[in-house]
Structure 1
Amino acid sequence: MTAKNKAAVEKMQQTHRDWEEADYAGPCPVRDVLDRIGDRWSVMVVLRLSGGPIRFRALLRSVDGISQRMLTTTLRALERDGLVDRTVFDTRPPAVEYSLTPLGESLLDPLSLLAEWAMDHHEQILKARKNFDK
């Protein structure tokens, strides 16, 4: 184990001890956040919004494979959690634009690290799955 990995393990172990000692009135914060960003579309939508405000139809076209209904559901959940702002323009027809809030922007660095890790290790994961499924 590298020194960097050892430091990360120690930090996670301390965080775990802190969780066990904490008296949360509600759900575990980590599990709660992972429920939001761990779905199929939230990370893709957040990453797309990192480029700046975008209208609904343009966002729909830019997230490959997402349906209009699923995009609406995902955006509402992200808005509910304070990660996304929804702005309605008084035009005919009405236009709606979405953007990241400061809280949503603060999620970009951790997501970038996760994406980097995924890209670096995806081949290993695929190989492990193939070996497991034999």
Structure 2
Amino acid sequence: MHVDTHSKVSAPGRKLGSANFLNQQRLAQSCVANDVLARISLRWKMSVLFSIESGAGTFAALKRTHPNLSDHILAGRLRELRREGLIDKDERARRHPVYATTERGQSLLKIMAALCAWGEREPATAGA
């Protein structure tokens, strides 16, 4: 997990020193999967990545695909996906940059597809 040492907030928006932040750090240290799950589970993140892979490559196309997603959150998710190397931004068309998944992003989407398939085969049980 990336921690900005110049502010009092971690990359996912947790306050440094808060119980949630400290618990998240401990979980990440015990197993890298916990850190990965925390990073990819942010609201809208995988939906935006999937939409880019499916052809919604501009900000406007992503807004049409996700009309309830605020511009602020969408811009933040795009920054995170770029920072993590999951998408690229082609700025040659200055007016409307185009986003595309990277090989790293495509490999994550394959894992997510397998996870979704598992979830469909193994539905959650009530009270478990």
TM-score by length of 1: 0.63
Can you give the 5+ residue segments of structure 1 that lack an aligned partner in the other structure? Answer: 1-25
Amino-acid identity (%): 32
The residue correspondences of 1:3-14 to structure 2 (distance < 5 A) are: none
1:95 counterpart SS class: coil
1:98 counterpart SS class: strand
1:85 counterpart SS class: strand
Structure (1 or 2) with the greater helix fraction: 1
Name the counterpart of 1:54.
Answer: 57
CA RMSD of aligned residues (A): 2.4
Cα distance between partner residues in 1 of 2:52 and 2:121: 24
Name the counterpart of 2:110.
Answer: 109
Of 34, 38, 48, which residue of structure 2 is paired with 1:35? 38
Higher relative contact order (CA 8 A, sep 6+): 1
| Higher Rg | 1
Structure (1 or 2) with the greater strand fraction: 1
1:46 counterpart SS class: helix
Distance 1:66-1:121 versus aligned 2 partners, 3 A rule? farther
Q: How many residues align?
A: 100
Name the counterpart of 1:9.
Answer: none
TM-score by length of 2: 0.66
Segments ≥4 residues shifted beyond 6 Å: none
